[in-house]
Structure 1
Amino acid sequence: MVNAASTGLSTRDLYLFNQGELFHSYRTFGAHPIRSGEKQGVRFAVWAPHAKQVRVSGSFNHWNSENHAMELVGETGVWSLFVPGIGPGELYKYEIETLEGDWLLKSDPYAFGAERRPDTASVVHDLTGYKWRDEEWQKRKVNGSPYNEAMTIYEVHLGSWKNKGKEQFLTYEEMAGELVEYVASMGYTHIELLPILEHPLDQSWGYQVTGYYAPTSRYGSPEQLMILVDKCHERGIGVILDWVPCHFCKDDHGLRRFDGTPIYEGTDWKRAEKPIWGTLSFDFGKSEVQSFLISNAIFWMDVYHIDGLRVDAVASMIDLNFDKPPELHTFNRHGGSEYLDAISLLKRLNETVFHYYPQALMIAEDSSAWPAVTSPTYMGGLGFNFKWNMGWMNDILRYIELDPNERMHHHNLITFSLVYAFSENYILPLSHDEVVHGKRSLLNKMPGTYEQKFAQLRLFYGFWMTHPGKKLLFMGGELGQFDEWKDAEALDWMLLDYPLHLAMKDYVRTLNTIYSNQPPLWERDCDPGGFEWIDVHNAAQSMIVFMRRGLTGNRFTITICNFSYQHHAEYRIGVPESGAYRTLIHSEDAVFGGSVQEVPRLLRSSDIPWHGREYSVAVEVPPFSFQLLTYEGGAGVERLV
């Protein structure tokens, strides 16, 4: 046993780690190229509190660890060793002798790099050499507010957006060219990456992690990932990372029983097991686990300039018995099923992230009815700033799959979301989870003929884009894919050879552009004063009409949706102002594959009271159509004709 000073470790840092308060623990743990005295080498540090001994085995010692035993630092449970004469690129693992005398071979929980699967060694890496060029982006973020800004998120699985063949992936750097330019050209404001933390199984899509501090080597080096993020920022695109603190996989080289005992998952096996996923939950009440997880969130923002995290499966964290059979149920000290330690961790996580990164996006993927998820912790909330609106998503997908003749009986599915739309700061997700496992693609969820499917998908996208809440669309949705997402293959880009699919892509791009240019559609997403129903009760005709208001002046848009087969040659809607209304987009415009050859671009109001308003406009409404109008004003509108 040695003291911290002799290892180059900070006594204070190790104390904070044991207290759950070392929020940059990645600077202490793992493999760090450093100079010790006159010698250059690598310092290794690992937490293994119940190990009898720990050694470092690697390429530098031909995987013979006999001469590289680590030393226990005080009473901290931390082991350390400085190895002179080695540097970045070395492969290594920890050999750990358990209390029973067994030997385990483990990857480094804090490794900055990893071998490409199926190999599992950690890789020494120096993350300090990259020269970032995103100063302008960082300054812009400081002056912004995500609540009243446009946000259209393109959700991407890097392995299957495009590839070169089976398991022949594009690199992060190649994505920095092709993917980023595509996303920018389509008008998205953000990219959200399915988890890129190192994971052993491709089919897990990254949601079962072994290397929390290592970007997966499937797509190249850490520096190449930095290039990808940097390029996104250069093009004005934010980067959100799917992050998975709810569980980890059981692979032998990973965190499970790391030192022969359950130090990451905890000793209560019923609480640790997640049987539906075959994984283990973290012990969220353990101080060192808190340091590990909160530091990991900070790490991706510190080192890779990630703009935000979408925190996966929050419902499974805050409920001790989420999707567990009765024999695995456990209860908290009050007799309830709330996982109090997980709730405390999430609050502390968000407080810490916003302390260091006030403009960060912390997004909860939460399917529960837990209240105040996006309220500050000082008001009793969990402290996230956005939450996926799973209720809206489930209702609208259920509605849109109905036979149009049945929709009149389920009108509440498209209106109910506005009852609670402002109770949280919402993102409206059309994510990967909705286009896999037999759920069908978005296009194939639509009933009817080939042309009707496209018409309804255009209608659906229009409703989604103008409904309060930020937007997220999984890759391929813009192409009108017929097939479900195939995680081992590239998207069906050949569909763009067919007119309706190409037109769908153009339609989505146009929607994104109009959305970004119309502040009423996003300035007051979190404010009930920014939304107003015009026609909400017309279930018989499956019609809805609503208005979105901006922050300044008399700026508003009007959304008209017809979810039925019916054609209305003259459908009258009440409007709040006299004057001219311009059609911003019409989903049945022939340029998007629709049936209307010439869209009326300018509509004039009449002094005919309607829908409780003094004025009204008459609109032709085709079947399965969406129209978006904007108010142009009263006097002087002749110049617009």
Structure 2
Amino acid sequence: MVFDLLERRKKKFTLWIPSGKRFTPSLVLGTFNDCPHATINELFTGPLKSSDTPDLWELDPKDINPPLQNGTVYHYWFELQSTSPSYPANFRVADPFAYTVDYRTIKTRNKHTHPPSVVKFRDDSNGTLWPCDIDGHEPSPVQVPPQDAMPVNNHLVIYELPCSWAKHDPEGGVDGMQIDVGTFSDVLALFDKEVAGQRFREIPQVASGAIVASLGINALELLPAADAWPRGAWGYATSHYYAPDSDLGTSSELVTLVESIHKMKIRFFTDVVMAFGYDPYVSIAFTQFHLNPDYEKDNPDSYVSHSGELRNPWGGTLWRYMQQTNTYNPESGTLENVHPSWAFHHGHLYRWMSDFCIDGLRLDSIENIANYDFIKSYKEKAWSLYQARYGNGPSEFLVIGEEIRNVPIDMISQGTLNTLWNEPFQGRLRAAIIGESSHGDNFEWTVRRMINCTLDSAHPFTDGAQAVNYITSHDVEGFRKERLFDFLWFSHVYDIERRAKLAFACLLTAVGIPMILAGEEFCDQMDRPVTQKQVDPVNYERLVSGWRSRVFDYVATLVELRKKCPALGYNDTEFIHLDQSRGGKIIAWKRGAPDQAPVVVVANFTDQDTPGEKYFVENWPEREREDWREITQKREVPRGWVGREPLMNWEAKIYTYWRG
């Protein structure tokens, strides 16, 4: 499968402007010079030519004088004529389809600055303009792993990782923390103990260990890896959709990361922000690609799905999705009616799936994208690219939608998405681990609907692969949304180790795909007040011996069970015990189909230990077997104690006779 404009870019400098404007854009081209200061040595400025297709501007490198030199890395902008008093008469923008941008010459980074795009000139038979890193290295596409090598959807455990990290500042610093941006190399160091990382190599936990590999997750969701102009944030100000974030590293380093985790049978997901952007089309062709809802209140495109609220750009500029224009279609290469924004976003999907072998996508704020037709087209395009990779293979790919205010389940039933974030799970779990009910249910049904999302009548999921469950997500702003440690502390709960283990026991035995926000596996805490979303970094230095280490080991044990035990990959759930003498707050559930070795969880959601030497759980399956074992303590259970073991307060015990 090919994308026409991406193929044309191999031969010529191209700029697509589906605006009907009749000004002639120019190419400004030069080379990088770092002595004595980082500057661009400009070598050429000249007009692009109107191609044989309307709205597509091109320039053959052979028409540039002085001639381009074989093997040289060039930096370039497109220069346009302004029709707005807010812009200078001539202004420069990055290539909207650039695979690499370079901020080294930008003195003050903000959403209005445009770094130069980067490309290498190669005068050979295969092409002339080659994608390259800023140092000229030409990345190869990620090697496609063998079919069936990756974990299937119903046995995923996703690790949601921002690249904004923290370390102690020996000189005190603000809040005693030094904030930095992890690179792709630093991410790899979390998986490979032979890799020390780049900016965090002095942190022993990162430099000498493999924290995330030890945790055992089998899917990495990197928060938006496409280029964003801010430093030290979590990537939600996407500026250059086709380029990896220059602060995180190069395309080559991202290829190394993905290939390395693929060898460990870990899938790679990335986050995509398509409700709003900071991209060059804001300056090039605003009315074709973007909108300001305050000025278009009669336009249905201005409103959030499922409500009458105006869409929120969150400091960026909203994408326009209903606009259609008769123009060059950058995907097919033909002249037809096109949604410009659809075509642009389909293009970077081709780029990321073809070059970085993406195994799944999380679409940010789907209700703020507010166009089901576009979202469905994006999902179907992603699946077609995945199937082009493997054919009609097994379920080893997902397109996940995130919406934290609502669960628009109709997006699954209508085939718009594969999976949704199950936001009610978080509310139910946080209520349960402090002994409260949630969502208008009594305690029993709070737990039932938490453990089995197919019982949620308000949001009726029909399969576990349709729901992503989490204790905490990167959206840590709002009531009971903060990190688990902080939630418990603010709730005046101080046996944090015990409650955290209970929370993870529920998460990792519930129907649905469990997702762990980086740092929750050792109860990281927030060091800075939450004034907006996604500002507090991950502090891996907290993972030391003591209670946090015990929580980590507990979670790792359950992650291994969740990945491998067949019973946890099916929806079948039976609640076999409810202790009314304890206010219905000692509950047992069984996971697994009738012909499988079950997983049985017995959970005590009270402040009291169970009385006596034994605690009897009625309806225990296959009680007479002699091969039951308790997973969290890694021990065999004597036959006489099966279904009779006592529980401490706020404790869950997890049993199975399955042997992996």
TM range (shorter): 0.7 to 0.9
In structure 2, how many angstroms separate the alpha carbons of the residues matched to 1:134 and 1:350? 18
Number of the residue aligned with 1:282: 319
For the structure 1 residues 576 and 617, does the alpha-carbon distance in structure 2 shift closer, same or farther, using more than 3 Å as the test? same
CA RMSD of aligned residues (A): 3.6
| Partner SS state of residue 567, structure 1 | coil
- 2:183 and 2:510 map into 1 onto residues whose CA distance is 36
Select 2:446's aligned residue among 391, 408, 413. 413
Structure 2 CA distance, aligned partners of 1:91 and 1:455? 56
The answer as to whether partners of 1:284 and 1:341 remain within 8 angstroms in 2 is no
In structure 2, what is the equivalent of residue 371 of structure 1?
Answer: 409
The amino acid of 1:53's aligned partner reads T
Of 413-422 and 298-307, the range deviating more from structure 2: 413-422
Where does residue 312 of structure 1 map in the other structure?
Answer: 364
Q: Aligned in 2, Cα 1:124/1:276: closer, same or farther, shift over 3 Å?
A: closer
What is the CA distance between 1:603 and its match in structure 2? 4.3
User: Contact between 1:88 and 1:123, CA under 8 Å: does it hold in 2?
Assistant: no
**Counterpart contact for 1:300–1:306, Cα < 8 Å:** yes
Question: Bigger CA drift: 562-571 or 115-124?
Answer: 115-124
Verify the 8 A CA contact 2:159 2:516 in the aligned structure 1: yes
Q: Aligned in 2, Cα 1:295/1:468: closer, same or farther, shift over 3 Å? A: same
Q: Distance in 1 between matches of 2:385 and 2:640?
A: 50
| Partner residue, 1:303 | 355
Amino acid at match of 1:146: V
Q: How far is the alpha carbon of 1:241 from its aligned partner?
A: 0.2
Q: Equivalent residue for 1:517?
A: 564
Deviations 1:202-248 (A, max 9, x none): 36521121100010110221111111111111222111001112221
Distance 1:549 1:55, change over 3 A: same
Identify unmatched segments of 5+ residues in structure 1: 1-21, 35-41, 319-338, 590-598, 607-615, 634-641
Counterparts in 2 of 1:459 and 1:232: CA distance versus 1, 3 Å? same
Quote the offset at 1:366 in angstroms: 3.3
Structural mapping, 1:185-224, within 5 Å: 185-202=214-231, 204-224=233-253
Change in Cα spacing, 1:147 to 1:217, as seen in structure 2 (3 Å) is: closer
CA pair 602-311 structure 1, distance change in 2 beyond 3 A: same
The corresponding residue for 1:153 is: 158
Tell me which residue corresponds to 1:556: 598
CA distance, structure 2, for counterparts of residue 352 and residue 554 of structure 1: 34
Q: Is the CA contact (8 Å cut-off) linking 2:435 and 2:605 kept in structure 1?
A: no
Asked if residue 572 in structure 1 is aligned to residue 621 in structure 2, the reply is: no
Residue 532, structure 1, aligned to residue 574, structure 2:
yes
Is the Cα contact below 8 Å between 2:140 and 2:255 reproduced in 1?
no
Instruction: Output the CA distance in 2 between the equivalents of 1:90 and 1:186.
Output: 43
Give the conservation status (yes or no) of the 8 Å contact 2:226–2:243: yes
Q: TM-score, normalised by structure 1?
A: 0.75
Secondary structure of 2:277 counterpart: coil
Secondary structure (helix, strand or coil) at the match of 2:495 reads helix
CA distance in structure 2 between the partners assigned to 1:624 and 1:267 by the alignment: 50
Structure 1: which amino acid aligns with 2:116? Answer: S
**In structure 2, C-alpha distance between the alignment counterparts of 1:440 and 1:145, rounded to whole Å:** 30
- How far apart in 2 are the matches of 1:550 and 1:513? 20
Which residue does the alignment assign to 1:601?
Answer: 636
Cα separation, partners in 2 of 1:435 and 1:583, compared to 1, 3 Å = farther
Query: Residues 435-486 of structure 1: CA distance to partner in whole angstroms, max 9, x if unpaired?
Result: 4568432023226777622101101100110011111101110111233689
Shift of residue 175, structure 1, vs aligned partner: 3.0
Q: Deviations over 1:583-631 (max 9, x none)?
A: 3334xx5xxxxxxxxx87314369xxxxxxxxx8322011000111114
Q: Secondary structure at the match of 1:301?
A: helix
Within 1, Cα distance between the matches of 2:541 and 2:41?
48
Show the counterpart of 1:177: 189
Give 1:45 deviation, angstroms: 3.5
Matched, 1:462 2:505: yes
Q: Would the alpha carbon gap of residues 218 and 188 (structure 1) be closer, same or farther in structure 2, given more than 3 Å must change?
A: same
Structure 1 residues 152 and 623, CA gap change in structure 2 (3 angstroms)? same
SS in 2 for 1:219: coil
Deviation for aligned residue 1:422: 4.0
Structure 1 residues 340, 600: closer, same or farther in 2, change over 3 A?
A: closer
Shift of 1:540: 0.5
Q: Do the aligned residues in 1 keep the contact of 2:282 with 2:289 (CA within 8 Å)? A: yes
**After the TM superposition, which of the residue ranges 160-169 and 181-190 deviates more from structure 2?**
160-169
CA distance in 1, matches of 2:50, 2:511: 55
Distance 1:422 1:537 in 2: 28
Correspondence 1:227-626 to 2 at 5 A: 227-249=256-278, 254-259=280-285, 261-265=286-290, 269-270=296-297, 271-272=301-302, 274-275=311-312, 277-285=314-322, 286=324, 287=338, 288-318=340-370, 339=371, 341-342=373-374, 345-346=377-378, 348-350=380-382, 352-357=384-389, 359-367=396-404, 368-375=406-413, 380-382=414-416, 384-401=417-434, 410-417=443-450, 418=452, 419-420=455-456, 422-424=461-463, 425-436=466-477, 439-446=481-488, 452-483=495-526, 491-522=538-569, 524=570, 527=571, 530-536=572-578, 538=580, 540-550=583-593, 553-568=595-610, 569=612, 570-573=614-617, 574-580=619-625, 582-586=628-632, 601-604=636-639, 617-626=643-652
Between the aligned partners of 2:250 and 2:151, the Cα distance in structure 1 is 32
Q: Is the 8 A contact 1:163 1:169 kept in 2?
A: no
Cα-to-partner distance string for 1:268-302 (whole Å, 9 max, x where unaligned): 74445743613332222342322211221222110
Instruction: Rate the CA distance shift 1:156–1:209 in 2: closer, same or farther, 3 A.
Output: same
CA contact (8 A) 1:436 1:484 kept: no
Give the conservation status (yes or no) of the 8 Å contact 1:153–1:188.
yes
- Bigger drift between 155-164 and 510-519 goes to 155-164
- Cα gap change, 1:63/1:57 in structure 2, threshold over 3 Å: closer, same or farther? farther
**Compared with structure 1, are the counterparts of its residues 430 and 82 closer, same or farther at alpha carbon in structure 2 (3 Å cutoff)?**
farther
| Whole-Å separation in 2 of the counterparts to 1:230 and 1:427 | 25
Q: Secondary structure at the match of 1:494?
A: helix
Q: Distance in 1 between matches of 2:50 and 2:146?
A: 41
Distance 2:13 2:469 in 1: 45
- Residue 485 and residue 178 in structure 1: after superposition, are their counterparts in 2 closer, same or farther (change >3 A)? farther
Q: Secondary structure at the match of 2:508?
A: helix
With over 3 angstroms needed to count, the CA separation of the structure-2 counterparts of 1:65 and 1:71, relative to structure 1, is farther
Amino acid at match of 1:73: S
Instruction: Tell me if the contact between 1:155 and 1:475 (Cα under 8 Å) persists in the aligned partners.
Output: yes
Give yes or no for the alignment of 1:58 onto 2:102.
Answer: no
Q: Is 2:146 aligned against 1:138?
A: yes
Q: Identify the structure with the greater helix proportion.
A: 1
Structure 2 residue ranges without an equivalent (≥5): 33-39, 63-67, 120-129, 133-137, 170-176, 193-209, 303-309, 325-337
CA distance in 1, matches of 2:268, 2:658: 35
d(CA) in 1 for partners of 2:420, 2:501:
25
Aligned to 1:329: none
Q: 1:555 is aligned with what amino acid?
A: A
Alignment CA distance shift 1:145-1:161 (3 Å): same
- Match of residue 73 from structure 1: 51
State the TM-score, normalizing by the size of structure 2.
Answer: 0.73
The 5 A counterparts of 1:40-119 are 43-47=13-17, 49=19, 50-60=21-31, 67-84=45-62, 85=68, 89-98=73-82, 102-116=89-103, 118=109
* Contact 2:219/2:266 (<8 A) preserved: yes
Structure 1 residues 370 and 257, CA gap change in structure 2 (3 angstroms): same
Corresponding pairs, count = 544
Alpha carbons 1:198, 1:216 under 8 Å: kept? yes
Q: Does 1:629 align with 2:623?
A: no
Report sequence identity in percent: 17
Alpha-carbon distance in structure 2 between the residues aligned to 1:431 and 1:26 = 40
Counterparts of 2:235 and 2:408, CA distance in 1: 26
Distance 1:140 1:99, change over 3 A: same
